[in-house]
Amino acid sequence: MSTPLARPKRKNPLARTRLPLLPLGARSRTAHGLTAAAAEGRFALQVCEDCAHVPYPPRDACPRCLSARLAFGHVDPNGRLIAETTIRVSTDPYFRERMPWRVGTVKLDAGPVIVAHLHGDTVEGERVKLALKLDKSGSAVMLALPAQETPHMQADPHLREMTCDPRYRRVLISDGRNAVGQAMARAFSEAGASIVFVGIADPWKPLPNQAELSKIERVEIVPLDVTDTESVTELAAQNGGRIDIIVNTAEHVRPGGIIERGNLSVARDEMDIRYFGMLRLAQAFGPVLRFRGADGANSAAAFVNLLSVHALMNWPTYGANSAAEAACLSASQCMRAELRPGGVKVLNAFFGPLETEWFQIVPPPKLAPAALAKAVVAALKDGNEDIFVGDIAQDIRERLKTNPKALERELGSH
Amino acid sequence: MPTPDLLTFANAVATGAIRVIDLTQTLSPEFPTIVLPPEFGQCAPFRLEEVSRYDARGPAWYWNNFTVGEHTGTHFDAPIHWVSGKDLPDNAVDTIPPQKFIAPAAVLDCSAEAARDPDFILTIDFVERWEATHGRIAPGGWVLLRTDWSKKSYTDYAGLRDDGAHTPGPSPEVVKWLVEARDVLGFGTETIGTDAGQAHHFNPPYPAHFYMHGKGRYGLQCLTKLDQLPPKGAIIFAAPLKIKQGSGSPLRVLALLPGGSA
């Protein structure tokens, strides 16, 4: 079993903060097929469409039949750890600081032999299950996990290095007024976050479910209005150095298309709350998140964007809203590039209509805020970068892959 | 009538023989704004974005861009704000004759009543009792409602409950009477609006808006320091921004009082 993660000691204020270093992140264009799978927490390898061979590492032609038809697909991740070694000395600056480091050779049942990082509970000669993870550089690596769940498995230092587990981390929920923000507060508290800061704008307005919210363990209400630059920078100045995960729950869902709305005031609010709100959070908290990417066991870990899946394809019923979500999606890709030098991940959680008043007349299936919160926590524990939560989001994703033009027409036809 | 000596006036202001009281709330992001049901468009709160502050964005200068609604912070309501005043001449902030921006004020102190009841409603009877002490309200001036609401915390100031806001204001009858029987210039309050928090249940709804603006009169709201004004004798300087066809605007409201020795 892994040693349970202890609450990290308070930081020595006289010691220099450890700066982030990254493992080598260069991958071939083809090998980013693994990155794509790791980003979503899937396990995938190339499978030759002509001879069914499973080559590894990724190649541009099948080493057995020379076919170029080598699509990535699901492959059984189970196998056996046939050899292991513990590296105690390295010239690589990132690994030097993290010695000793176990690596091993895994023979997959599907065929290939793969060099992988080893979870502490894996045993030479025993069955293991490979997982694709994004390391601190944002590139895919193979991690061998024990075939069966082991006690405190999540506390393994190799695994924690590749994931954003909220346990003992300090989380900021940017807007606690809405159902999603409150569900997030509950989920992160239950996941063992050591502080859950919950931002509340306009404190003079009654706060729905105030009693329930303040009863959640380790919740701390803080004044925060993502539309107010001063409010965001003030919170960052006061607490930025002790926030490890930011979940931007600020939302402004309003129905209506582009032409139909007739004026810009709602669209401006949408952009101000969603897009500029995200930028304000990014500008105020981004530098310190990036700086603290290797700051001990509760280092800065992730910025979470909650995005309508219609960021990927406009839904004219909520057309202007979809456009604002698309702007946020684009900004998230930029943020990823900007936070990567700190080893800090940007998780995008895509979802369809929620079980909230702003989707009241939309027929089911609709996603419960608690289900979204649960999925976000799970994705952080798994170290994912993109998740599609709920039936609608999954469906849109599939239809985008097969025929995006058909999806555009169909979303626009009712 | 002899020509007034404006230099004497200016000297009196400079020496403090005439006191200047600032009745304006500071424009800040935190100050409450009116809240409408969320399906309606909302009044933008005050927001400030720094353009530069003696830095790479502008080495020798500090300046900001701000955004604000016409009805945010201490603000002026023009007749065009309300449907009842939409067709009047000179009904927008850019066309109101400028002499209307300087006028005397009668200050009705309802602070004790409002402290007892956040839903306190000003009545004709109350004003008539005030007049019995201070004399008849002169035509062409402001009537300002002192409730000490500006001294409250923002939460109590907004007074929001699940059935709406609970803040003091005038009855329909008294507004109509102030316009028709007293010919006032406008009505001013310390609260978020000129009407009571529950005025959407009045008949007509929002009477201070309906009657004042319907007869070409003005509104002032989110005033402060009304407790420093005498019942009579203060002159109000309240000139809104000259926004083309503007329905109102944030503004600086100043009161001039005699008595520098006070």
The count of domains in chain A is 2
- The band of B179, judged by pLDDT with boundaries at 50, 70 and 90, is very high
A202, A235: one domain: yes
Give mean pLDDT, residues B184-188. Answer: 98
* From B81, B201, B209, B213, active-site residue: B81
- The band of B260, judged by pLDDT with boundaries at 50, 70 and 90, is low
A366, A281: one domain: yes
CA nearest to B150, candidates B123, B121, B111: B111
Mutate to test the interface with B, among A177, A178, A200, A204 (most CBs of B within 10 A): A204
Q: State how far the Cα of B105 lies from the Cα of B109, in Å rounded to an integer.
A: 12
Query: From the CA of B30, how many Å to the nearest CA of chain A?
Result: 7
A64, A146: one domain: yes
pLDDT > 90: what percent of chain A? 94
Could you report the per-residue pLDDT of B202-242, keeping only the tens digit for each?
999 999 999 999 999 999 999 999 999 999 999 999 999 99
**Enclosing domain of residue A150:** 32-162
For residue A20, tell me if it sits in a domain: no
Residues of chain A contacting residue B31, judged by C-beta atoms under 8 Å apart: none
Mean pLDDT of chain B: 96
CA nearest to A354, candidates A398, A312, A391: A391
Q: Considering A162, A190, A205, which residue would you say is the last residue of a domain?
A: A162
CATH of domain B6-42+70-258: 3.50.30.50
pLDDT > 70: what percent of chain B? 99
The pLDDT of residue A7 = 87
For residue A293, tell me if it sits in a domain: yes
For residue A55, tell me if it sits in a domain: yes
A348, A403: one domain: yes
Could you report the per-residue pLDDT of B20-51, keeping only the tens digit for each?
999 999 999 999 999 999 988 899 999 999 99
A205/B160 CB distance under 8 A: yes
Mutate to test the interface with A, among B33, B47, B155 (most CBs of A within 10 A): B47
The pLDDT of residue A6 = 85
Q: Return the H-helix or E-strand segment holding A186.
A: helix A179-190
A372, A293: one domain: yes
**Which CATH number characterizes residue A222's domain?**
3.40.50.720
For residue A10, tell me if it sits in a domain: no
Q: Which of residues 192-221 of A touch B (CB under 8 A)?
A: 202-206
Residues of chain B contacting residue A230, judged by C-beta atoms under 8 Å apart: 29, 48
- Inter-helix orientation angle B172-180/B124-134, to 10°: 50
Rg (CA), chain A: 22
For residue A11, tell me if it sits in a domain: no
Residues of chain B contacting residue A225, judged by C-beta atoms under 8 Å apart: 29
A256, A295: one domain: yes
CA nearest to B82, candidates B195, B241, B179, B171: B195
For the cut 60, the answer to whether the pLDDT of residue B261 exceeds it is: no
Global model pTM greater than 0.90: yes
- The band of A345, judged by pLDDT with boundaries at 50, 70 and 90, is very high
Residues of chain A contacting residue B69, judged by C-beta atoms under 8 Å apart: none
Q: Considering A162, A190, A215, which residue would you say is the last residue of a domain?
A: A162
Query: From the CA of A364, how many Å to the nearest CA of chain B?
Result: 22
Please confirm, yes or no, whether B81 is among the known catalytic residues.
Answer: yes
For residue A112, tell me if it sits in a domain: yes
Query: From the CA of B154, how many Å to the nearest CA of chain A?
Result: 5
A70, A205: one domain: no
Token pair, residue A195, equals 């502080």
The pLDDT of residue B262 = 41
> What ipTM does the predicted assembly reach?
0.91
The pLDDT of residue A174 = 98
Token pair, residue A224, equals 């925060």
A213, A357: one domain: yes
- The band of A141, judged by pLDDT with boundaries at 50, 70 and 90, is very high
A150, A194: one domain: no
Query: From the CA of A238, how many Å to the nearest CA of chain B?
Result: 18
Lowest mean pLDDT among A5-19, A28-42, A323-337, A387-401: A5-19
Q: What sections of chain B are H helices per DSSP?
A: 6-15, 111-116, 124-134, 154-158, 172-180, 207-214
CA nearest to A227, candidates A268, A170, A182: A268
For residue A337, tell me if it sits in a domain: yes
A122, A187: one domain: no
Q: Considering A111, A141, A162, which residue would you say is the last residue of a domain?
A: A162
For residue A97, tell me if it sits in a domain: yes
Give mean pLDDT, residues A133-145. Answer: 97
A288, A394: one domain: yes
A94, A37: one domain: yes
Could you report the per-residue pLDDT of A157-195, keeping only the tens digit for each?
999 999 999 999 999 999 999 999 999 999 999 999 999
